[in-house]
Amino acid sequence: MYLNTIISRLLQAAWVIVAVSAIAFALFQYVGDPVSQMLGQDASAADRDALRRDLGLDRPVALQFLQFLGNAARGDFGLSLQQGRPVMDLILERLPATLELTVFSTAIAVLLGVPMGMVAALRPRALVSRAIMLVSLIGVSLPTFFIGILLILAFSVILGWLPSFGRGPVADIGVWRTNFASWDAFRYMLMPAFTLALFQLTLIVRLVRGEMMEVMGQDFIRFARARGLPARSILVRHALKNALMPVVTIIGLQLGTIIAFALITETVFQWPGMGLLFAEAVAFADIPVMAAYLCLIAVIFVTINLAVDFLYILIDPRLRRGHGASR
């Protein structure tokens, strides 16, 4: 019955991805010339022209874009100009590093952020709450790269507790390369994950605090108190459950942003993930890698939004008939 809705959403998603790659291709004109980075300074003009021709970079952008779409539809994203290896291989190689980092940092943000937000909501005047709000203010205002460098200075250079760069002694489990297999490798993830988590953490603290304050003032909480339910049960089963609804939505939507913006954290810590791959590709004007990365990010965003849309359809009966009043 709601097949139509699903199909139209999927079509919309496909258009978004095509539009993103079209805009990306239009912008590639301005990132520079990869040929100048692929040959040494002494290569002759004839050599450069020959390379440009072989790579098809001398053709109009529209044509290059159409060919990219055609190949991408068949799952072929071409070779990286910088590394000479298939772009898909590079992305798949780097994907675990970024996913582990983002998932772990989201876990840090949730596990710390929710209790901190609750404390700040329940005892707004306590010293600890003020401290929490101060930390969240710092997290919101300091740029990520600066936090990363400060952490390296404190925990690597001065204290000598944590390694300053890279993924360390990772373990290979099948095709998946992980930092979770040993403490030795896990240590390498602490600082990058915390750096990435800080912004999310402050967001969650503020959201949970606001929602909790609102929920705690509502009638059903008062009734629950009047019925003499234990304070702990009121807090966790009734108040928090209600306060978390918007938090969960935001965390879900944020996940896409975090994957996309792991770039800065990965650059500071030389974390070999997709963000670092993209940063290098931009400096090199490595068009196939940039195009594939941007498409992948578009797919991630679209998928998350699609999932949210479908969840709404399941939850809200009015949307199922496809003519809901709310749209």
Residues found near another protein in the complex (CB under 8 A): 31-47, 50-51, 54-55, 78-86, 149, 152-153, 156-157, 159-166, 183-184, 187, 267-270, 272, 276-277, 280, 283-285
* Distance of alpha carbon 108 from alpha carbon 300, whole angstroms: 21
Q: Is the CB of 224 or the CB of 290 nearer to another protein?
A: 290
In angstroms, what is the minimal distance from the CB of 149 to another protein?
5
Q: Where are the alpha helices (DSSP H) in the chain?
A: 3-28, 35-38, 45-55, 61-73, 87-122, 127-141, 144-151, 183-216, 219-226, 231-233, 241-268, 274-284, 287-315
In angstroms, what is the minimal distance from the CB of 98 to another protein?
14
Residue 79 bridge partners (DSSP): 86
In angstroms, what is the minimal distance from the CB of 41 to another protein?
7
Q: Is the CB of 269 or the CB of 301 nearer to another protein?
A: 269
Q: Is the CB of 33 or the CB of 316 nearer to another protein?
A: 33
User: What radius of gyration do the chain's Cα atoms show?
Assistant: 24
In angstroms, what is the minimal distance from the CB of 290 to another protein?
12
The answer to whether 247 touches 207, Cβ cutoff 8 Å, is: yes
* Distance of alpha carbon 64 from alpha carbon 25, whole angstroms: 8
- Number of CB atoms found within 10 A of residue 182's CB: 13
Q: Is the CB of 59 or the CB of 225 nearer to another protein?
A: 59
Q: Is the dihedral angle over the CA atoms 32, 34, 38, 40 positive or is it negative?
A: negative
In angstroms, what is the minimal distance from the CB of 181 to another protein?
16
Q: Is the CB of 35 or the CB of 112 nearer to another protein?
A: 35
